[in-house]
Every structure is written in structure tokens, then in C-alpha cells.
Structure 1
Amino acid sequence: MTDEDNGSDLGLEEDDSLAVMRAVGRMVKVWREGAGLTQTGLGTQIGYCEEMVSAVERGKRVPQPEFLDNTDVALGANGKISAMKKDVAGARVPKKVRDLAKLESEAVELGAYGNHNMHGLLQTEEYARALFSMRRPAYSEDEIDQQVAARMARCQIFERRPAPTLTFVQEEVTLRRPLGGRMVLRRQLEHLLELGQMRHVGIQVMPTSCEEHTGMGGQLQVLKLKNGSTVGHWEAQLANRLVSDPKEVRILEMRYGMIRSQALAPRESLAFIERILGET
């Protein structure tokens, strides 16, 4: 899915993630009060500030595994609080991203066109962090960590077996825009070259000089799933839409096919990326 833009709000929604966070918060509070500790007292014992303890108890912050482990020991919960780490790990990934990752895990083919920055699956951790740090309204540091971790987890698709066929078309400008700085861009370009060497991955570049371009409608993605169905996906500033209507999916498939035909071939594209890397 093309959730790579930093304008879409992928924050926690009213879903099971919030329910888990609130349940964990209530558990911590009950055990803390049972131990006769204040929030400040617990924070001192586990190495966190009172504000963090309060935020966790109110279900406003996702606790790190160390927070739960240290709290479990401090309150003598005998593993009951630590046992929530697996549930909390799921809550750290926003629902939209979980849905996205589920579709990607079921895809036997995935094709994506990106026109303003690297597709999410292609991003290095540094590049992703730079993107989320630019987001406005701004994310907190905890939210940035959450988003980056979720994005990096999705990249496991490259190691999946049997391997899905993955193709990407990136606008030339996305290879030149130094988001995060020159060194972040260099490592991102090196990462693209590494991925492009994988037999089941195809990376193409759409040169700015191209006079015929079917992608003027914006970024898009098409996924063929294990069950034989095909879905499309696109994002805009404040919109995130899954496309399942067969007629609309065919349009997206047609457009993506034409975009690929208008872009540089994979081998030419890797050579093009190497030249840009040399200039960066």
C-alpha cells in the first residue's frame, strides 16, 4: 500500500488497539494501588517519570516492553503484567497499518507507483523516520517510533517464502529529493540497489524527461491476493481508499501497466540509480 506519505494520519484509532492500551493501563493502576505506591513512587522504581506512568494508566501511551517488565517486578505481579507484552506489541501498530500488512501478507503480486517519496516498502529506517518527523500536525517521539517500527515490520515481505512478485515504479524526483539529508538519501539509494538485485523484485524509474506519463492521477498500488482476487489502493492528503470494485481495479491495473511500460526498464533503472548515487 502506498502509505508512504507523511500526511496521512495513521495514529491510533477507536479500535482494539485502544481497548488493549486501556486494559493494560487499568491493570497497572490496580496493581500499583494494591502495592500502596503513587505514580511517582512507581516511576522512581522502574526508571520512568510520573507523567509516563500516568499516560500508560490512562491508555494514552503505548508502554515499552521494559516498562511492563520493570513494573511487573516492582509490583510483584509474578508475570501477569509482563504477559501483556504480546498484546501491547500489536497495539503499537495502528489499525490501518495492520490492515495494510495483512493484505501484503496475502499478496502473490504487488505493484506500486510512487510519485513524491519512496514507497513505504522500499524505505530504510532512517528515511522512514525522517518522513514521520516531517509530519504536520507533528507526531510525538513515541508515535514516530511506533510508526517506524510498523513500517519496518512490513518489509519482511521481501523475505517471505514463497516469494511474491514485487514491482515498483518511482519518479526520478524521489531519487533526488534529500529527505532527511544527503547521507540518508545515499543510504536509501544504496538500499534500492540492493533490493533491485533480488530476483523477485523489479524497480523502475520514471524519468522526469518522459513525455508520455499515465501516472498523472497520483500514486497507486495493485495487489493480487492468494485467493485469486485483486485489490487496488490509493492515498491522498487526508484520504486512504481500498478499491475492490472490479471495474475500478481494472482501471488501476491498466494504468499501472502503462506506467511500467513508459518507465525505464529494470536494468536501465538500476544504472540510473547508480548514476544518481554517484552524484549525491
Structure 2
Amino acid sequence: MQNHKSIKQQNSSASVVGALLAKLRRNAQLTQRALAELLCVHEETIASIEQGRRSLLPDLAEQLDRILATGGVLAVAVESATKSEKSENFPLRAQEFMWFERKAINLSSYETVVAPGLLQTEAYARSVFRTATPAVSEEEVERRVTARLERQAVLHRETPVMANFIISEAIVLSGLGGPQVRRGLLQHLLNCADLPGISVQVLELRCDSHAGLSGPFVLLETPEHQLLAYTEAQRTSRIIADRDEVSALAQKYGMLRTQALNIRQTQDLLKRLLGES
């Protein structure tokens, strides 16, 4: 979890950039709705940025600069805010994704190497963060573990999120963290699968062909029914809002659901592995 100082700094930066955007928008004599329509985003997106509740991402800042004819003021402001962030802060795109994740009404996650963050146990998450290269301090590991566990509140909301997780069999066979950590993860996956609205499927290693060879990704639907995708690679991440790209990933996910073990078969596999561990 981020410490108080870093959270305060992050919120302050977002508030300053948001206030600047609001001023520039009013100077251009545009309402939040009108600006949102020009950007093809929801009005709530503009409102949240202006109120400092969400970070303005570099790509969107550049679009705003073009529409508002600001000469690059917002892009520079975002760059400056990014540089001022402490190293323990989440990257901007990860922050943005987690903001959407907290409010999502539907989630679909495909993972190939490690268990999805929303399904990790504390011990498993700690094992993941201790593998970081370059290495981080134990204090930093604990901050990250706490932040990861806090994200899992989305699975326990009063109005449950509908979520499906497809994970590679390699994840449940992996010895990451040792036998106890692995056993804890297997039991936790079974427990999570019993939560309202949550389903877990395993994609077997022996599957001779599947739609997920290009790597992991997450799909989500916002309360405003906007469809988004999120991908991560080495030291980078990306939020995708383009309808064609999101549609292509949704098609991949649909195929993966048919190629993975069904829910009952997955539970049987996890129970068998749990009995062998």
C-alpha cells in the first residue's frame, strides 16, 4: 500500500492537473458533456479528471491539447506530475485500470504465468513481489502485498461483480513460493469460485490450440457500459478503449472459454491437485 505521503502527493498532482483542465475547458466555452463527446469518452471521465479523482493519462492529454488548442500545456503538466511521483506509486495506466476495476460490473481475465491479482493469497502475492528484478526492499514488498489485497474488495462488494477468470494450468502446477504457498493458492481458488458471480476455468497445457497465445489480458465493463481492455508486458501496460481492438480481444476470450475446462472440470482438477500436494 502506498504510504500517506505518496498518496497525498499523487492526489495533489491529479487535483492540479484536473483544475487546469477545467480552466482550459471553460476558456474554450465547452461543457463537460460537449468535451466528452468530442473525445468519444463518457462525461463522467471528464468530471472525474477535473475533480482529481482520476489521473489524466498522457494519450488523453495530447488529444485534449489538440481539441482545446492549448499548445501542449496539458501534456507537459501530465509529464511533470508523472516525474514527481515516488517510485512506489503505481504507473499511471495501472492506476487508471484499478480505478475502472473497482467500479466494474463485469470482469474477464486471462492469465498465463501468475494467478490473477484478484485471486492471489497474501503468501502467494508476497512470493510474486519477492521475485522482482531489480530487487525491492521488504518494506516495499509489504506495501505492494497490502495494495494487492485491498484490490480484492471488488469481489466482495454488496452488489457482486460478475467475473470470469481463465488461468493457464501452468499457474496451478507452478511451485512458486513452495508447497505451502501452492496449497494455499489451490484452496483459495476453490473458495473464490464459490463466491457469487465468480467463475474460474483452467486452460490445460495439453490443449493443442487456443486463442490466448498472444498473452494475458483483462476485459471489463463499466457501470456506464463502456467496454475496455487492459494488457501488461515487461515494464509497460496499456488501457484499450478502441472498439475494434476491444472486440477482437472479446472474441479471443469467447474462444478461450470454450477451449478451457468448464467450471466443474476445473474444480475437479483443483481438488485433485490439492489432494496430491
Alignment TM-score > 0.5, same fold: yes
Instruction: Report the Cα distance in structure 2 between the residues aligned to 1:161 and 1:216, rounded to whole angstroms.
Output: 36
Instruction: Report the Cα distance in structure 2 between the residues aligned to 1:120 and 1:20, rounded to whole angstroms.
Output: 23
- Match for 1:190: what amino acid? Q
| 1:153 and 2:153 are equivalent in the alignment | no
Select the structure of larger CA radius of gyration.
1
Instruction: Report the Cα distance in structure 1 between the residues aligned to 2:6 and 2:137, rounded to whole angstroms.
Output: 21
Q: How does 1:199-214 map to 2 (within 5 A)?
A: 199-214=196-211
Instruction: Report the Cα distance in structure 1 between the residues aligned to 2:11 and 2:140, rounded to whole angstroms.
Output: 14
Q: How does 1:152-231 map to 2 (within 5 A)?
A: 152-231=149-228
Residues matched between the structures, number: 201
Q: Secondary structure at the match of 2:105?
A: strand
Instruction: Report the Cα distance in structure 1 between the residues aligned to 2:252 and 2:2, rounded to whole angstroms.
Output: 30
Name the CA shift for 1:252/1:11 in 2 (closer, same or farther; >3 Å): farther
- Match for 1:208: what amino acid? L
Query: Alpha-carbon deviations, 1:221-280, whole Å to 9, x = none?
Result: 100110110000111112201111111000111111111110000111011111111122
1:140 to 124, 137, 159: 137
CA contact (8 A) 2:166 2:257 kept: yes
1:262 to 259, 262, 267: 259
Q: How does 1:81-100 map to 2 (within 5 A)?
A: 94=90, 96=92, 97-100=94-97
CA contact (8 A) 1:17 1:94 kept: no
Higher RCO, Cα 8 Å, sep 6+: 1
CA contact (8 A) 2:112 2:216 kept: yes
Query: Alpha-carbon deviations, 1:163-219, whole Å to 9, x = none?
Result: 110100010010010111110000010000001112310000001111121000000
| Counterpart residue number, 2:229 | 232
| Counterpart residue number, 2:15 | none
Query: Alpha-carbon deviations, 1:84-143, whole Å to 9, x = none?
Result: xxxxxxx97635454333111221000000001101100001000000001100111121
Aligned-pair distance for 1:21?
11
CA contact (8 A) 2:109 2:165 kept: yes
| Structure 1, unaligned runs of 5 or more | 1-9, 23-90
| Counterpart residue number, 1:124 | 121
CA contact (8 A) 1:93 1:150 kept: no
CA contact (8 A) 1:234 1:242 kept: yes
TM-score, scaled relative to structure 1: 0.67
| Structure 2, unaligned runs of 5 or more | 13-86
| Counterpart residue number, 1:34 | none
Instruction: Report the Cα distance in structure 2 between the residues aligned to 1:223 and 1:104, rounded to whole angstroms.
Output: 7
| 1:275 and 2:272 are equivalent in the alignment | yes
- Match for 1:130: what amino acid? S
CA contact (8 A) 1:110 1:166 kept: yes
| Counterpart residue number, 2:9 | 19
CA contact (8 A) 1:109 1:223 kept: yes
Instruction: Report the Cα distance in structure 1 between the residues aligned to 2:2 and 2:256, rounded to whole angstroms.
Output: 32
- Match for 2:109: what amino acid? A
> Over aligned residue pairs, what C-alpha RMSD do you find?
2.5
Instruction: Report the Cα distance in structure 1 between the residues aligned to 2:8 and 2:90, rounded to whole angstroms.
Output: 10
